[in-house]
Amino acid sequence: MSGAHANVEPFHAVEINRLAHARERRGLPVIHMEVGQPSAGAPAAALAAGQHALTHAPQGYWESDALRERIAALYQQRYGLALEPQRVILTMGGSGAFVLAVAVLVAAGARVALARPGYPAHRNVLRAFGVQPLELDCGAATRFQPSAAQLAALEPAPAGLIVTSPSNPTGTMLEAGELAALAAVARARGIRLVSDETYHGITFGPAAHTLLEFEPDAIVLNSFSKYWCMTGWRLGWAVVPAGLAEAFRRYAANLFLVPPTLAQHVALAALEADTELQQRVAEYADNRRELLAALPQLGITRFAPADGAFYLYADIGHLTSDSLVFCRELLDATGLALNTGRDFDTVQGHRFLRISFAVSTGETRRAIDWLGDWLRRRRTG
């Protein structure tokens, strides 16, 4: 039997993570900077709410109206946007939100544009649904983000465009003017916009803008995994136009039933934990500064601008012709786990690696030492 699975590529970060955990089981040290997850767990108050819910709340199928209302209030708090709670669709993580968006909005055989480099699950989910990913080559000239000119030049117009700001793997952001320009081109050409805003809340300069500020009918996806440090709880949401909310709910019920009940209780408390979470963002900022200062001393000098998220996307083409081999050798020799750019860019990714710095500052400093020692041995060996 054949099917769309033949077009879905492996996720190398998972392989490197598996090798890193195997090393730990042998009692060897590892620093995990290969996967995109905070090393700290959910905020303390959120975990306490989860403990209470385990004892006092039924754990059957359930969707929290209070959580939808609180997420709607978040858009007023962060962006000054009034949002009807019924437009918020609770999902099985941000990934579940994206699956719903593709299932509801895009017909098999259609083309959907997205940036390269970009999050691999986007293009692989499209392929799994029989949709053609149309990759836009987004390099340093456009700060690794799609431009309105690129979108306007596509013939014929694609059915949709996926934007991610801040981006995985690059951490780059689209400024307000760039988002407005993309929205204007998409509106004029009948292109549906899907905005993955998973890394909002984690920025190192100006705050991120939601695409809803410029296109009220955009589909906006988010997750509790990154800013709220709830990666394993598998809870996210989509904001959809009122006219599509019922279709999204029907698909969600059939594909996933409901999101994890316990996670919804935890998320309600996590939304009130900004003080603790901002301290974590401050630590990410410290880690970013450490890396940006140290890596050029090790001969790694070319990075995407890391405006947000918790990644550095670095060009190591002068060090290797295959960054996956580089990452495997580094892990085996030192215990430092980084990820290859091949996950994010099928054309130039062999030149790049992604460093996730959502770890402690102590771990970041040790990682710099391990990498530096290994590179020196590599040069002289």
Q: Could you state, in order of their start, the residue ranges of all structural domains in the chain?
A: 4-41+274-380, 44-270
Q: Which pLDDT score is estimated for 70?
A: 98
Q: Mutual orientation of helices 12-25 and 323-334 as an angle, nearest 10°?
A: 10
Q: What is the pLDDT of residue 10?
A: 78
Average confidence (pLDDT) over 148-174: 98
Q: How do residues 2-28 score in pLDDT, each as one tens digit?
A: 555 556 777 899 999 999 999 999 999
pLDDT at 5: 52
Q: How far apart are CA 143 and CA 129, in angstroms?
A: 29
Residue 1 pLDDT? 39
pLDDT for 200 equals 98
- Average pLDDT estimate for 203-212: 97
Contacts 24+ apart (CB under 8 A), 349-352: 349/117, 349/323, 350/317, 350/320, 350/321, 350/322, 350/323, 350/324, 351/315, 351/316, 351/317, 351/323, 352/117, 352/169, 352/313, 352/314, 352/315, 352/316, 352/317, 352/323
Q: Is 244 a residue whose pLDDT tops 80?
A: yes
Share of the chain above pLDDT 90, in %: 96
- pLDDT number for residue 9: 77
| Options 3.50.50.60, 3.40.640.10, 3.40.190.10, 3.40.50.720; CATH of 4-41+274-380 | 3.40.640.10
pLDDT surpassing 60 at residue 283: yes
pTM of the model: 0.95
Q: What is the mean pLDDT of the chain?
A: 96
Q: What tokens does 94 get?
A: 């941000």
Q: What is the mean pLDDT of residues 268-290?
A: 98
- Residues 297-352 pLDDT 10s: 999 999 999 999 999 999 999 999 999 999 999 999 999 999 999 999 999 999 99
On the question of a common fold for 4-41+274-380 and 44-270, the answer reads yes
CA distances from 227 to 40, 92, 199, 207 (A): 11, 16, 7, 13
Indicate the pairing of strand 31-32 with strand 336-337. parallel
pLDDT at 142 over 80: yes
Task: Spell out the CATH class of 44-270.
Answer: alpha beta
Asked if residue 203 has pLDDT above 90, the reply is yes
Tell me the mean pLDDT in the region 120-149. 96
